[in-house]
Copies of this chain bind each other. A is one copy, B any other.
Amino acid sequence: MRVLGVDPGLTRCGVGVVEGVPGRPLTMLGVGVVRTPPDAELGDRLVAVEQGIEQWLDEHRPEFVAVERVFSQHNVRTVMGTAQASAVAMLCAARRGIPVALHTPSEVKAAVTGTGRADKAQVGAMVTRLLRLAAPPRPADAADALALAICHIWRAPAQNRLQQAVARSRPRQAVAPHTAHATKGRTT
């Protein structure tokens, strides 16, 4: 199973690709950060994030994309940018038909360190050990992206069984936008 983990952000969007199955050693295929300049227009930054994510999808062809679930109780100033960058990552994956999974920060920490309250250093240390790296990936966003991918590989079997059960009970439909139109003089 090949997973692209995305730690969403506008200034630094962590990306990491891990391949493996539960119970076997994991392999890191790539890690990095997509950056956009804080002083650029918001729309242009979103386009740059899209281009960066597309490059990673082109290069690594992941079967799953795991994105950190954004909560609004975080820092008010940064949460909007995080939500917007995560939307772009989910959009890029879904456009290609790649399943998108969301994992909360506590789920990711618990998966790789055994505790949902681990700090950045613990997460970085465990990612380094699990992927047999020479040193912790920098910046922390890159390590977090790898942790997301690892979390998904380990949790996916249970999640997939659940999704399959849901799919059996309710056939999934393709989503097309339903647009109501009106022209001048008429109102919908």
Q: Determine whether A73 belongs to the interface, using a CB cutoff of 8 Å to chain B.
A: yes
Query: A177-B55, A181-B32, A187-B31 known; A94 and B137 CB under 8 Å?
Result: no
> Total interface residues on A, using CB and 8 Å?
72
Which positions 108-156 of chain A face chain B at CB distance < 8 Å?
Answer: 133-138, 142
Q: Is the interface of A mostly helix, strand, loop or mixed?
A: mixed
Interface centre among A85, A172, A180, A186 (most CB of B within 10 A): A180
* Identical subunits present: 2
Q: Contacts of A137 on B, CB cut-off 8 Å?
A: 182, 187-188
The docked-state distance in angstroms from the alpha carbon of A3 to that of B177 is 21
Q: Contacts of A57 on B, CB cut-off 8 Å?
A: none
**What are 9 inter-chain pairs, A to B, with CB distance below 8 A?**
A32-B182, A36-B175, A36-B177, A37-B175, A45-B175, A72-B79, A73-B76, A134-B187, A142-B180
